[in-house]
Amino acid sequence: MQKNKSIVLGITGGIAAYKAAELVRLLVKNNIDVQVVMTEAACQFITPVTLQALSGKPVYTGMWDASVPNGMPHIELSRAADAILIAPASADFIAKLVHGRADDLLSTLCLARDCPLLIAPAMNKQMWENPATQRNIVLLKTDAVAVLGPASGDQACGETGLGRMLEAEELLYLINAHLQPKLLKGKKILITAGATLEMIDPVRAVTNISSGKMGYAIAQAAFEMGADVTLVSGATALVPPMGIHTISATSADAMYQTVMQHVCGQDIFIGVAAVADYSPIAMQAHKIKKSESSLTLELKRNKDILAEVASLPNAPFCVGFAAETENLLTYAEVKRNAKKLPLIVANLVSDAMRSEENTVTLLDKNGAHPLPRTSKIEVARLLLKHVNNLLK
Ligand code: CTP
């Protein structure tokens, strides 16, 4: 079992400190150990008790805390961590980091660290745009500090502009990306995800119940592993993920065209989309009015995107999905052979659809590799590790 990752979360004085509570909750939920360290100013905005309850660990606020065994929290805390994240990072704290100041516990442990440092700035837009802050940010980046955000939007002071701290969900996404080994660095990966929508008339369509979550999770996991990711997304309610080139293509035909335009030069292609096998012969220009007691829809067969990609002369490494309701492994292996795929992911519709988790079996030339039931993002990480091993 892989050891849990652990981070030190440094909270400095700013109104965005309230978002740190949600961030701690999400980190812990994602099996990341969190040690919270707060500056004195941060304690004016949110209490250590809240962060202690959410992280399940005592929160450090001062240099002279007697509870650290060797009495040197500035060394001890950063040694145990895979990274330090400062969120929110105030303009003042950023200036302190630039100059290597060490006049409180948090700035001291940043100076004494031997792990990566990430900051999520949060401040009023004028403070962010001030040349002094901009100079400081350039210097921190030169010192290999990762700067996450800030975002643009409404600010606590009533103004609108750049300076808002990223949301907790977005920070979790970027921290995960930071903590994963960069197994796919330099690799280009193309992924299809979601359901397709085959229009019958301007208001009706043939579609399916795929949520797109598994495909989006694979895109996220590939991004975390350092790949250059292009996601061709069918119909889904999901938000395009950060750092991923996402192209919307809702019909099977649009998805086919988009994939073919982008497939050249890709190292890996993963077809996760639930592509309609058939679509209406033609979309009616106007809404079909009810008249007869029954209506017959004439459908035509769509191209099989995955099979087409796999049969290209310089085909990328192709991975398919087989969502079945019965005879899972038999049907999946038949599909793998029919589409000439080195790898197929078999899952039961009841295990995968409309769920945050999935239970899959990977089928390749060496046989069946069942994975444990886990979250879709974990399944995605395990799948990509397997792909990486096969590529080697
Ligand atoms: N697929 C595709 N294009 C299609 C149909 C399927 O790229 N027109 C891909 C899916 O993204 C998936 C794999 O093929 O990776 C298998 O899809 P699935 O619908 O389970 O299988 P089909 O080949 O369509 O077979 P059937 O519907 O008969 O089960």
305 pLDDT more than 60: yes
Mean pLDDT calculated for residue range 297-326: 97
- For residue 254, how many C-alpha atoms fall within 13 Å in the half-sphere facing its CB? 14
**pLDDT at res. 353:** 83
- What separation in Å is there between the alpha carbon of 251 and the centre of ligand 1? 14
**pLDDT at res. 75:** 72
DSSP state letters, 312-341: STTPPEEEEEEEESSSHHHHHHHHHHHTT-
Other Cβ atoms less than 10 A from the Cβ of 206: the count is 18
- Work out which ligand 1 atom sits closest to the CA atom of 272: 11
Q: Residue 267 — very low, low, confident or very high, per pLDDT cuts 50/70/90?
A: very high
- Mutation pick for ligand 1 pocket among 208, 275, 325 (CB with most ligand atoms within 8 Å): 275
- What separation in Å is there between the alpha carbon of 276 and the centre of ligand 1? 8
**pLDDT at res. 154:** 81
Residue extents of the structural domains in the chain: 5-179, 188-279+298-391
| 157 a catalytic residue | yes
Q: Which residue from 40, 119, 32, 33 is spatially nearest to 84, judged by alpha carbons?
A: 119
16 pLDDT more than 50: yes
**CB–CB of 390/366 below 8 Å?**
no
Q: Whose CA is nearest to atom 8 of ligand 1?
A: 304
Three-state SS string across 56-94, please?
A: CCCCECCCCCCCCCCCCHHHHHHHCCCEEEEEEECHHHH
- Work out which ligand 1 atom sits closest to the CA atom of 322: 20
Q: Whose CA is nearest to atom 19 of ligand 1?
A: 274
Residues contacting 387, CB < 8 A, separation 6+: 268, 317, 319, 343
- Work out which ligand 1 atom sits closest to the CA atom of 192: 11
2 pLDDT more than 80: no
H helices within 143-234, ranges in order? 168-179, 213-224
Regarding the beta carbon of 230 and ligand 1, being less than 6 Å apart is answered no
Helix (H, G, I), strand (E, B) or coil at 126: helix
- Mutation pick for ligand 1 pocket among 196, 198, 278, 306 (CB with most ligand atoms within 8 Å): 306
- Mutation pick for ligand 1 pocket among 301, 321, 362, 363 (CB with most ligand atoms within 8 Å): 321
The pairing of beta strand 245-248 with beta strand 228-233: parallel
Q: Residue 79 — very low, low, confident or very high, per pLDDT cuts 50/70/90?
A: confident
Class level of CATH domain 5-179? alpha beta
**pLDDT at res. 69:** 61
Q: Residue 70 — very low, low, confident or very high, per pLDDT cuts 50/70/90?
A: low
**pLDDT at res. 352:** 86
Regarding the beta carbon of 222 and ligand 1, being less than 6 Å apart is answered no
Q: Which residue from 322, 323, 317, 281 is spatially nearest to 302, judged by alpha carbons?
A: 281
62 pLDDT more than 90: no
Regarding the beta carbon of 263 and ligand 1, being less than 6 Å apart is answered no
**pLDDT at res. 178:** 94
Question: Could you tell me the fold of the domain covering 188-279+298-391?
Answer: Rossmann fold (3.40.50)
For residue range 136-148, list pLDDT tens digits in order. Answer: 999 999 999 999 9
**CB–CB of 193/269 below 8 Å?**
no
Same fold, 5-179 and 188-279+298-391: yes
Regarding the beta carbon of 323 and ligand 1, being less than 6 Å apart is answered yes
Residues contacting 330, CB < 8 A, separation 6+: none
Q: Which residue from 223, 208, 333 is spatially nearest to 277, judged by alpha carbons?
A: 208
**CB–CB of 381/362 below 8 Å?**
no
**pLDDT at res. 1:** 47
pTM for the full predicted model: 0.90
Residue owning tokens 């069946």 = 368
**pLDDT at res. 64:** 73
Mean pLDDT of the chain: 94
Which two tokens mark 168?
């907790």
Q: Whose CA is nearest to atom 12 of ligand 1?
A: 321
Regarding the beta carbon of 127 and ligand 1, being less than 6 Å apart is answered no
- What separation in Å is there between the alpha carbon of 306 and the centre of ligand 1? 7
Helix (H, G, I), strand (E, B) or coil at 350: helix
Q: Which residue from 177, 182, 192, 204 is spatially nearest to 303, judged by alpha carbons?
A: 192
